[in-house]
């Protein structure tokens, strides 16, 4: 059973969230970001469901700390902060999804399941193109032996595009498959992530990520 970490400073909300998730997942909880880090560093976590506004270490700081350690565990933010700027700040940190309070727990459960499916995109195979190796099992990308750090979404995008070289994927297809059909993310989300991914693999001579005007994106393998 997959393990979900619930991070919430409000005691009643934390208990309610745990109670709604425990039939479907192995659930552990923490009252703030610092306590969450203790849990993350002591056991395997499959998904983190976190509030943003917390004393001490807030959700953004928690996500920054987790990502800086190289951990790509999926994150869902549960928050009253739903402005585009708030979402942009989260996505900059590699957050996978947002839900705005009050929470529909049935929806939260299927969002967690969808994220878990996408996290296992991966079959256990590795994609190798010249000096580029994308290992879905280890969730690592290397080029000529050098590690390339990608966020969870950037990794999933790269795997998707490289799995079907020269196939054009529309922005909506990529949104549905990588972010989920009911995600509040828009076209710009795909554009921003592709741009960052291009920058991170800019020195990979064997692969180009091409924008097809008005349609979407494709990966081209160069001879």
Q: What is the CATH number of the domain that holds 192?
A: 1.10.10.10
Question: Would you state the pLDDT for residue 187?
Answer: 64
Average of per-residue pLDDT across 15-36? 95
The DSSP H or E segment spanning 78 is strand 75-79
Question: For residues 171 and 188, what is the distance between their CA atoms, to the nearest angstrom?
Answer: 9
Residue 122 binned pLDDT confidence (cut-offs 50, 70, 90):
very low
Whether residues 110 and 141 fall in one domain:
no
Half-sphere exposure of 127 (CA within 13 A, CB side): 23
165-180 pLDDT, tens per residue? 888 888 888 888 788 7
Q: How far apart are alpha carbons 28 and 5 in whole angstroms?
A: 5
What's the confidence (pLDDT) of residue 105?
95
Q: Bigger pLDDT: 142 or 117?
A: 142
Residues 183, 197: Cα–Cα separation, whole Å = 20
Could you tell me which of 54, 49, 62 has the C-alpha nearest to residue 99?
49
Domain membership of residue 20 as a residue range = 3-119
CATH number of the domain where residue 9 is located: 3.40.50.2300
* Whether residue 130 is found in the same domain as residue 114: no
Mean pLDDT along residues 57-74? 86
102 with 151, same domain: the answer is no
34, 139: one domain: no
Q: Quote the DSSP letter at residue 103.
A: P
| Cα distance between residue 188 and residue 201, in whole Å | 20
pLDDT category of residue 197 using cuts at 50, 70 and 90? very high
Cα Rg of the chain, angstroms: 18
In this prediction, residue 68 carries a pLDDT of 81
111 and 150 housed in the same domain: no
Number of folded domains in the chain? 2
Of 119, 144, 165, the position where a domain reaches its end is: 119
pTM of the model: 0.57
Tell me the three state secondary structure of residue 104. Answer: coil
- Same-domain check for residues 57 and 113: yes
What is the per-residue pLDDT for 1? 76
- pLDDT bucket at 223, cuts 50 / 70 / 90: low
Per-residue pLDDT of 72-98, as tens digits, reads 788 999 988 667 777 777 777 778 888
68, 103, 119 - which closes a domain: 119
Better-predicted residue by pLDDT, 164 or 160: 160
pLDDT of 193 reads: 94
Does residue 111 sit in the same domain as residue 131?
A: no
pLDDT over 70 percentage in the chain:
91
Domain boundary among 78, 96, 119: 119
Q: Are residues 166 and 133 in the same domain?
A: yes
Q: Are 27 and 112 found together in one domain?
A: yes
């Amino acid at each position: 059973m997959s393990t979900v970490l619930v991070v919430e400073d409000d005691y009643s909300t934390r208990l309610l969230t745990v109670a709604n998730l425990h039939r479907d997942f192995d659930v552990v909880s923490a009252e703030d970001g610092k306590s969450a880090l203790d849990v993350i560093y002591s056991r395997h976590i499959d998904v983190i469901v976190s509030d943003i506004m917390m004393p001490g270490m807030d959700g953004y700081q928690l996500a920054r700390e987790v990502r800086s350690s190289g951990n790509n565990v999926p994150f869902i933010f549960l928050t009253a902060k739903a402005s585009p700027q708030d979402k942009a700040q989260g996505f900059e940190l590699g957050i996978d999804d947002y839900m705005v309070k009050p929470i529909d727990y049935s929806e939260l459960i299927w969002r967690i399941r969808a994220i878990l499916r996408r996290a296992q995109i991966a079959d256990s195979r590795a994609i190798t193109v010249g000096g580029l190796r994308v290992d879905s099992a280890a969730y690592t990308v290397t080029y000529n032996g050098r590690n390339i750090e990608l966020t969870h979404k950037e990794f999933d995008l790269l795997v998707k595009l490289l799995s079907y070289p020269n196939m054009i994927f529309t922005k909506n297809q990529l949104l549905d498959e990588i972010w989920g059909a009911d995600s509040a993310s828009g076209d710009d989300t795909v554009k921003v992530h592709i741009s960052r991914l291009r920058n991170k693999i800019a020195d990979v001579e064997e692969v180009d990520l091409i924008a097809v005007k008005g349609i979407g994106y494709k990966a081209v393998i160069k001879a």
